[in-house]
Amino acid sequence: MKTLLIIDVQNDFMPSGSLSVPFGDTIVPVINSIQTKFDLIIASQDWHPANHISFAANHKGKSDFDKIELQGKTQTLWPEHCVQGTVGAEFHPDLDSNKFEAIFRKGTDKEMDSYSAFYDNGHLKSTGLSGYLKEKGTTKLYLCGLAADICVYFSAFDASKEGFTCFFIEDASKAIDEKAFIEIKDKMTTMGIKMVTSKSI
């Protein structure tokens, strides 16, 4: 089964959002245009409690994008974003969600960040996405969304480790740091993740 996984196309990641991805809104019509090419469409949604540990505002004396050590890993402190129940956490209003069969929320544990749609950053808690996709018979998994260099990348990494044949849709994704993403794409290619465009699907 050919499955599309749409990562975090939410208001707070749009150019006017609290954690904006440059030109993030430009991928919405691309994602809408490719949905008919898939047997199954799934989305992930960043869904943080207001007291989430990754928010700089919850650390006295710290600023947005500072780095701290958290449970043995380096943690970037982010602006408050995608807080549960807020407009910022909603999908972009122009994103066609009618064909979404399921939505997997992540980052719900206030003590642990979660970039991947499959696991938290410590790989301690599963979202259940891998089991769901395997139960549905997914073989080919196409990933797109925001941000390409963080949540899409970590989702693709975990999907590959879970045994799915993975494809990254380049023109349906945007990175926060395009220069850094060049190196990340090389890592993805080395892992066997194939680079495609919306027109080549």
Query: CA 104, CA 106: separation in Å to the nearest integer?
Result: 7
144 counts as catalytic: no
Candidates 41, 81, 24, 42; CA nearest to 58 is: 81
2-49+87-200 CATH fold: Rossmann fold (3.40.50)
Among candidate residues 82, 144, 151, 166, the one labeled active-site is: 151
Q: Model pTM?
A: 0.96
Express each pLDDT in 4-34 by its tens digit: 999 999 999 999 999 999 999 999 999 999 9
Candidates 85, 66, 84; CA nearest to 76 is: 66
The yes-or-no verdict on residue 71 having pLDDT over 80 is no
CB 125 within 8 A of CB 116: no
161 counts as catalytic: no
- What residue has token string 């430009």? 26
The pLDDT confidence band at residue 69, using thresholds 50, 70 and 90, is confident
151 counts as catalytic: yes
109: left (phi over 0), alpha (psi -120 to 50) or beta: beta
Query: CA 35, CA 26: separation in Å to the nearest integer?
Result: 16
pLDDT of residue 72: 79
Report the SS3 class of residue 31.
helix
Candidates 44, 12, 193, 31; CA nearest to 117 is: 44
Q: What is the mean pLDDT of residues 41-48?
A: 98
Domain boundaries, the chain: 2-49+87-200
Among candidate residues 25, 46, 82, 106, the one labeled active-site is: 106
User: Which stretch of 42-46, 64-68, 88-92, 145-149 has the lowest confidence by average pLDDT?
Assistant: 64-68
Among candidate residues 8, 12, 120, 158, the one labeled active-site is: 8
